[in-house]
Chains A and B, each alone.
Chain A
Amino acid sequence: MKERLRQLSRLELLDPLFGGWRRLPHGLRSAVPAVVVIALAIAYPYYVSSLPTDVPVILAFPDVGASVTIVVFVIMAVGLNIVVGYAGLLDLGYVAFYAIGAYTAGWLASGQFEQVRFHFGSVGISSDQSGIHISVWLVLLCAALLTAVGGILIGLPTLRLRGDYLAIVTLGFGEIIPQFVRNADSIKGFDLTHGTFGISPIDSPGFGERLNRSLGLPVNYQSSFDRERLFFWTALGLLLLAVFVSFRLRDSRLGRAWIAIREDETAAGAMGIPLMRTKTWAYAIGAFFGGMAGAYIASFNSGAFPSQFQFNISVFLLCMVILGGMGSLWGVVIGGTILAWLNVEGLANIGSWVNAHTPLNVEVAKYQFGIYGIIIVLMMLFRPVGLIPERRRKRELEEGTPHGALDDPLYDHRTANEREETR
């Protein structure tokens, strides 16, 4: 009956409307929503000012500056999704990658190292300033590569451990690295990270005079009138890169190996997948995007400060991945956008709306991580597949997988008879 109704609604009632749509080839049909979303995102700076600012509950849409932070966090969520969603390795220390990326930008594109003077392609920095000033485009790449190496170094000793031990070791690294950057302001008298003050200012990206003259590209983001828009569009470009790489990786030999490991590590190993190498790659590529995003936001904020790198951020990123659906790229982007917006200004807006329209008086922002905790627990209890589940992952979670190292049920407390019946 239900099935019949669905067929009716799907085929006959809507046919005049969607008939033409359904006759389009599949590839084109699935590309259309993506193109629409991308176009809407790119045009966002043009129409944000005309959006209403008195929307119930959420009050206003984020301005362009806040959107930059949102997009950068989504990039990190996409990176974390490779580790957690694709390969099924729980990483509770992703903030370490963020920190490595941000500090690499601090080292390679600021006046931190007064002892040297090295300039390479930097914009907006007069050539007599001390410190290392490398073009931020190169710094993004360097930061991403260095962080990937960091991911490999963290991964090599720990990836042979079982899932929950891996989680705790990554958590350990996530705690060590922020403490290191906080304390490393005088290693034998050498100021590596400038302690609690952080590294600031950090150079901003730009294309320099020559490209400006020939192609009309902006000289320097920082001094441009369109500073926030330029940062926003570049962040979108980086996000698209991360999403594209994720999509292509998922269907590659490596991506299929990750999914095989996630579903059943023992079987994957028996089928000849090199477990260590495959898992290390997941770590390295996840770290790559974390480092890139970290360096980019350090450049946008023009600083890297140790207080940015709390354990909370790791959990927040994990929450983004879980809300959207582990392994589901669309889910992570959309769930991540919602959560990142909540984090940047959404919760504060909702809080002030609630306080204005109800007798309650709560400081919503104070309990933000409690709210993320509730989201995590509710998702895990009632919809572990996430808002927009990946089809394959959904099947896994609904049917269970036999004897995966990480996905092994804690144990089955049903009686042997009951289990026989369900088989």
Chain B
Amino acid sequence: MAALFGTRRPSGTSLLGLFFVLLLIIWLIVNLVKTPNDFFTVLLIGITTGSVYALIALGYTLVYGILQLINFAHGDVFALSGLFSSTIILSVLGLDENTSALGIIGGLALALVIIVAFGAVVNTTIEFVAYRRLRQAPRLAVLITAVGMSFIVQNVSLAVFDVNFRSLPPLIPESNVFKIGSVTYQWNQLFAVLATIPVLLLLSWLVRSTKQGKGMRAVSQEPDAAAIMGVNVNRTISFTFALAGALAGVGGLLYLIEFNIRYDTGFELGLIAFTAAVLGGIGNLSGAVLGALIIGLIQAFNEGLSWAAPGSDWTRSIVFGLLIGILVFRPEGLLGERTPEGA
């Protein structure tokens, strides 16, 4: 806890913040003691949801890191990708639960490649059409444009995919990975986690070790100096948007495997993911993942635990309450850096 608040002398607000964290921990412990089975089941659900959130949150954090822009349209790109991947998987590739295991794996891998390209293209187009012209404009103008783009993308989803929820047949078997007591973990849940980890490793390698990643870090620190040193600023920003869009695409596909998606799913999920990015410290890649896992766990605990849990009616209020709480008590987030260097 001392690490959380640094070596500063604890002020009134940070003590109040600590008090809330303490209450949360007590609540978790009571639940663990009362219903241990539920607790662990819910914990696993939370990790699964959290890892999908992480993919979306990373997109927010990447774009914020380089443009200091909250890209409201990001969540809607995620939903659009998810809807598009349902068309790819069901209509184009024609997968269903009777397809052979090899067919499913191959088909999903192909769908993943297509959807990554799709998300990247959509996000880069948004940046090109809407944000690029506003590089010199006041930040408020870009932020408002992002809100407008969010509505436009959402309505594109509505126009193409209509108002119905889309979901997949159980392609990944729902058999158990393991079963301890009554705590079970199914393959389709594990799939999301298994797919997220390599993506994260790839991303952190990309930002840390490639020339393009170095360019991204340079632009986010000091664009003028980066331009003088020969970094193509506009191309770097496009690349960042492509990367964020690709992550949204992966997130959309994984979310679709687990849950169902509609044209407006992305907006709220996007806000939750953004909260995760802020919780971890926006601009910080590992922070986004940490924040997303915490948010996923909080959501799962709230909806799945029985003792004094407010229930799913209040999830949104709790997540946004948390967002406000972080911004009041620790605006720089848990890992507290503003650039992707900390990755």
Contact = CB atoms under 8 A, between A and B. Distances in A.
A114 interface: no
Contact of B224 (A158, A175, A411): A411
Nearest to A384: B141
Nearest to A362: B159
Contacts, number: 162
A100 to B, nearest CB: 15
Given A158-B327, A180-B317, A367 B136 contact: no
Contacts of B135: 409-413
A394 to B, nearest CB: 13
Contacts of B267: 311
Contacts of B143: 90, 163-164, 167
B70 interface: yes
Given A179-B314, A370-B151, A410-B68, A168 B323 contact: yes
B140 A163 contact: yes
B223 A413 contact: yes
Contact of B228 (A172, A175, A380, A415): A415
Given A172-B320, A179-B316, A381-B133, A413 B228 contact: no
Q: Classify the secondary structure of A's interface with B.
A: helix
B169 interface: no
Interface residues of A, number: 52
B139 A164 contact: yes
Q: Which range contains the number of B residues in contact with the other chain? A: 35 or more
Given A315-B151, A318-B144, A377-B145, A168 B274 contact: yes
Contacts of B331: 161, 165
Given A179-B314, A180-B317, A409-B138, A171 B271 contact: yes
B29 interface: no
A173 B327 CA distance: 13
Given A176-B317, A413-B227, A169 B145 contact: no
Q: Classify the secondary structure of B's interface with A.
A: helix
Interface in B118-162: 130, 133-145, 147-152, 154-156, 158-159
Of the candidates B70, B267, B321, B327, the one having the most CB atoms from chain A within 10 angstroms of its own CB is: B327
A274 interface: no
Interface string B295-321: 000000000000000000110110011
B67 interface: yes
A140 interface: no
Contacts of A416: 224, 228
A408 B139 contact: yes
B233 interface: yes
A166 to B, nearest CB: 9
A367 B137 CA distance: 28
B324 interface: yes
Nearest to A381: B133
B321 to A, nearest CB: 6
B190 interface: no
Interface in A355-379: 366-367, 369-370, 372-377
Given A172-B324, A173-B324, A376 B313 contact: no
A168 B228 contact: no
A376 B314 contact: no
A119 to B, nearest CB: 34
A348 interface: no
A400 B155 contact: no
Contact of B313 (A92, A179, A373): A179
A409 B136 contact: yes
B136 A412 contact: yes
Given A176-B321, A412-B135, A412-B224, 6 more contacts: A157-B327, A157-B328, A158-B327, A179-B316, A373-B147, A407-B140
8 contacts: A180-B317, A370-B155, A373-B148, A374-B148, A380-B148, A397-B141, A407-B139, A407-B140
Interface of B: 67-70, 130, 133-145, 147-152, 154-156, 158-159, 223-224, 227-228, 233-234, 267, 271, 274-275, 278, 313-314, 316-317, 320-321, 323-324, 327-328, 331
Closest 8 CB pairs between A and B?
A: A370-B155, A373-B151, A376-B148, A172-B320, A407-B138, A377-B148, A373-B152, A373-B148
